[in-house]
Amino acid sequence: MDIYAIKQIDEAVKGNPYVGRGIVIGKTEDGNKACVAYFIMGRSNNSRNRVFTEKNGEVFTEPFDASKVEDPSLIIYAAIRSINNNVIVTNGNQTDTIYEGIKNGVTFTDSLKSREFEPDEPNFTPRISGIVYLKNRDFSYEMSILKSADAKGTSCNRFTFSYNSLPGLGHFIHTYVTDGNPIPTFQGEPERVAIPNDIELFADKLWNALDDNNKISLYVRYIDLATGQTENKLINKNER
């Protein structure tokens, strides 16, 4: 087993009916750009009734059809926000928790100590989060997962992974292993995946590999480390 093997992003998800929500952070092969990606999937009508929207550089989940929303508490949130040259990406309203923490001098990890997994028994969906620290034409990043310690949601286990960025390498964390009842949660370290120079290639590989029935939306951002300029790719299954 090669512990330094790097998968293509489509290899990491193809054939898996339900990886849930996923975050990818890494550096392009040429070393010139940071990549931040987030996608959502859904099994219920309430979960599938969503789209991504971008407003002033921030990315939000919103209802596709507001008249059909059953419970907005866990499906409507800011997914990507930026503050002080830091880019935050998460699968829930802990985006705002981290944002307010950074604003008040609290670290990414310490901000998340006030949060835990989602209260959606029996799945207890993990909260996954990432942050990119842009500095001196380079960046480092951290990823976190908060997950239930047992099948009853008795306690929360907290894991944080810290990385220096390396050309061509990204890390991929997602909420679930695959489909199930209850759904088995992500295990182990974030997966090592390749980050190509071309945002279109990366986005298309990921989107096309996600299960057709369950995928909902994908957002990918490439950030030029020299200029700060961004390239963005947004795909919604529910087109407005």
Summarize pLDDT for 16-36 with one digit per residue, the tens: 999 999 999 999 999 999 999
pLDDT greater than 90 at residue 44:
no
Contact indicator for 157, 12 with CB cutoff of 8 Å: no
- Model pLDDT for residues 71-83, shown as the tens digit of each residue: 777 788 999 999 9
pLDDT tens digits along 45-95: 888 889 999 999 999 999 998 888 887 777 889 999 999 999 999 999 999
The pLDDT, as a whole number, for residue 239 is 81
Give the model's pLDDT for residue 125: 97
Of the chain, the percentage scoring pLDDT greater than 90 comes to 90
User: Are the C-beta atoms of 223 and 87 separated by less than 8 Å?
Assistant: yes
Rounded average pLDDT over 124-142: 98
- H-helix or E-strand spanning residue 221: strand 215-224
Token readout for 150 is: 């047992």
User: What CA–CA distances, in Å, run from 70 to 40, 83, 92?
Assistant: 18, 32, 17
Task: Identify the pLDDT of residue 240.
Answer: 61
Reply yes or no on whether the pLDDT at 40 is more than 90.
Answer: yes
Phi/psi at 15 (5° precision)? 85, -5
The CATH class of 9-236 is: alpha beta
Q: Where are the alpha helices (DSSP H) in the chain?
A: 9-13, 45-48, 94-103, 108-111, 199-209
The size of the chain, in residues, is 240
* Largest Cα–Cα separation, the chain: 50
Mean confidence (pLDDT) of the chain: 96
Q: How far apart are alpha carbons 83 and 101 in whole angstroms?
A: 10
